Structure 1
Amino acid sequence: MTRFDLHTHHARCGHAQGEIRDYIESAIGSGLSIIGISDHSPFFGSASDHLHPSISMAKSEFPRYIREVLELKEAYKDKIEVLLGVESDFFAEHAEIYKAVYDKYPFDYRIGSIHWLGDTSIFDRSRWDGLDEQQLRQQKEAYFGLIAQSARSGMFEILGHIDALKGFCPEISDIPTNAVDQTLQVIGQCQVAIEINTSGKTKDCGGWYPSDSILERALYFGVPVTFGSDAHVPERVGDDFEQVRSKLKEIGFDHWVYFRQKQLQKIAL
């Protein structure tokens, strides 16, 4: 069976531990066949070289990141397949800038993630303080609206942790809105994959992103699914892979996917 993990980070982003090689070695030790390296993209829309040093790498560091992954891809080719990825923020107003940068490099895949609503990160606990149900619904609808835009943009093969706004606001999952179904329908039409991201267990919400109920609707709308641990320490590479595989089969999926040279590859569950 092909075992893989497409979502990993390393020290360049400023909030992960270890170097790329450490994650590859962990993947080999865990019996993975494929490891994707997908560190946080720089803030290419900013005039600053390194806008948020504790969140992502500097713009000047990006070519070195690409070069290192490609060198390790070659060095480890007889032991494991290393894929070149990136986890990219999506800012609609800067999309063309990001596209122009990404087109320069031979990515196997690009993960599009929404980490920001307005000027505040969704992982800033204080942004959720004191919001009533109507305000939470507005936040949720704005968030899923951005995800739909990112799916339509053509910039991404995978969308990251699509209900991550529940990370430090678990109750938002229970706020009813049609925006989730509407967004999943767009994702299905665009045939962009969503990841089952097991890093939710490290946040207040616990468990994985997205919820089982969202995965059930994703299956209904024909959305492809993939796997990513979102590891920020090497020990988490492949975390809960088998449990996720079992859950997807239980929900009704018969395959999941990964990307090589931006081409979708199916793997039976």
Structure 2
Amino acid sequence: MKFDLHTHHNRCGHADGSIEDYIKAAIEKGLKIIGISDHSPYFAHSKDQAEPRIAMAKSEFPNYVNEILKLKEKYNGQIEVLLGVESDFFPEYAHIYQREYNKYTLDYLIGSIHRVKGVSIFNKKRWNGLSEQEKIEQKDEYYELIQQSARSRMFQVLGHIDAMKGYYPEFSNIQTESIDETLQVIAECDVAIEINTSGKTKDVGGWYPSDDILEKALFYGVNVTFGSDAHVPDRVGDEWDLVTKRLKDIGFKNWVYFKQKHQISVIL
């Protein structure tokens, strides 16, 4: 059964197309389930829309939810539409985000780390002039935040867990034990990680996470799911078949999706 839990649309300010465009693309590509998971507003910020090119306004979030629910009914019988969110995780504001999400019946939340020490993980300049030890510290801080996001119990899925390599491919070669520690925490907290195929749109190419992390994830018993992280409708379900084959080669037997935060296992 073909599904995609990670898609965006024009509300976030850096994706093209409406929610309905992504649903139609999913139907055309033979998906049975499409999850809409646009970027969460900056709920803790004083401004209604703090970053117009990154995330929707706080006041727009109810409209986002209502539109998805209406489209869910409209396309009932053609495809199952799930209500999700890709949520930033800021430990100091987690309670504010949780309070907002509790107002709605969400199918799942994807927890993603996009900033470390206040700087975007995709900022190429963050690595300039750093010593090897400082690079290790940056990577460890990234994975510490991922561990905290798992322990928060807010999320069903953790998004692109090595995306810090997006514009810095050398990230994968920074030696640290934090990846193993993080995967153990994720397994203990029973949170899934996604195979996110949007890495192909960045300098690094390929997917998040890398094969060696997926092999470790299997060893530690971490569940996996699929997300294209599509920011254009044409990328919905992108490389589904290749991901399925790769997971089977690694040794996975199934993967999961979520409905009303209930985990559902699907045979690969």
TM-score relative to the length of structure 1: 0.99
1:131 aligns with 2:130: yes
CA distance in 2, matches of 1:131, 1:118: 14
**Residue in 2 aligned with 1:238?**
237
The 5 A counterparts of 1:2-21 are: 2-21=1-20
Per the TM alignment, residue 21 of structure 1 is displaced from its structure 2 partner at its CA by: 0.2
2:263 counterpart letter in structure 1: L
Q: Which moved more, 1:55-64 or 1:125-134?
A: 125-134
**Residue in 1 aligned with 2:153?**
154
The residue matched to 2:147 in structure 1 has which SS?
helix
CA distance in 2, matches of 1:65, 1:228: 19
> For residues 197-225 of structure 1, what are the alpha-carbon distances to aligned partners after superposition, in whole Å with 9 as ceiling and x for unaligned?
00000001110000000000000111000
**Residue in 1 aligned with 2:256?**
257
The 5 A counterparts of 1:83-122 are: 83-122=82-121
Total equivalences in the alignment: 268
1:140 aligns with 2:139: yes
**Residue in 2 aligned with 1:57?**
56
The residue matched to 1:245 in structure 2 has which SS?
helix
2:86 counterpart letter in structure 1: E
Per the TM alignment, residue 45 of structure 1 is displaced from its structure 2 partner at its CA by: 1.1
CA distance in 2, matches of 1:167, 1:243: 20
List gaps (5 residues or longer) in structure 2. Answer: none
> For residues 16-70 of structure 1, what are the alpha-carbon distances to aligned partners after superposition, in whole Å with 9 as ceiling and x for unaligned?
0000000000000000000000000000111111111000000000000000001
CA distance in 1, matches of 2:134, 2:171: 10
TM-score relative to the length of structure 2: 0.99
The residue matched to 2:108 in structure 1 has which SS?
coil
The residue matched to 1:85 in structure 2 has which SS?
strand
- Asked if the contact 1:137–1:172 (Cα under 8 Å) also holds between the matched residues in 2, the reply is no
CA distance in 2, matches of 1:104, 1:3: 30
CA distance in 2, matches of 1:77, 1:217: 38
- Asked if the contact 1:4–1:33 (Cα under 8 Å) also holds between the matched residues in 2, the reply is yes
**Residue in 2 aligned with 1:34?**
33
1:21 counterpart letter in structure 2: E
1:131 counterpart letter in structure 2: L
User: Percent of counterpart pairs with the same letter?
Assistant: 63
The residue matched to 1:110 in structure 2 has which SS?
strand
Per the TM alignment, residue 120 of structure 1 is displaced from its structure 2 partner at its CA by: 1.1
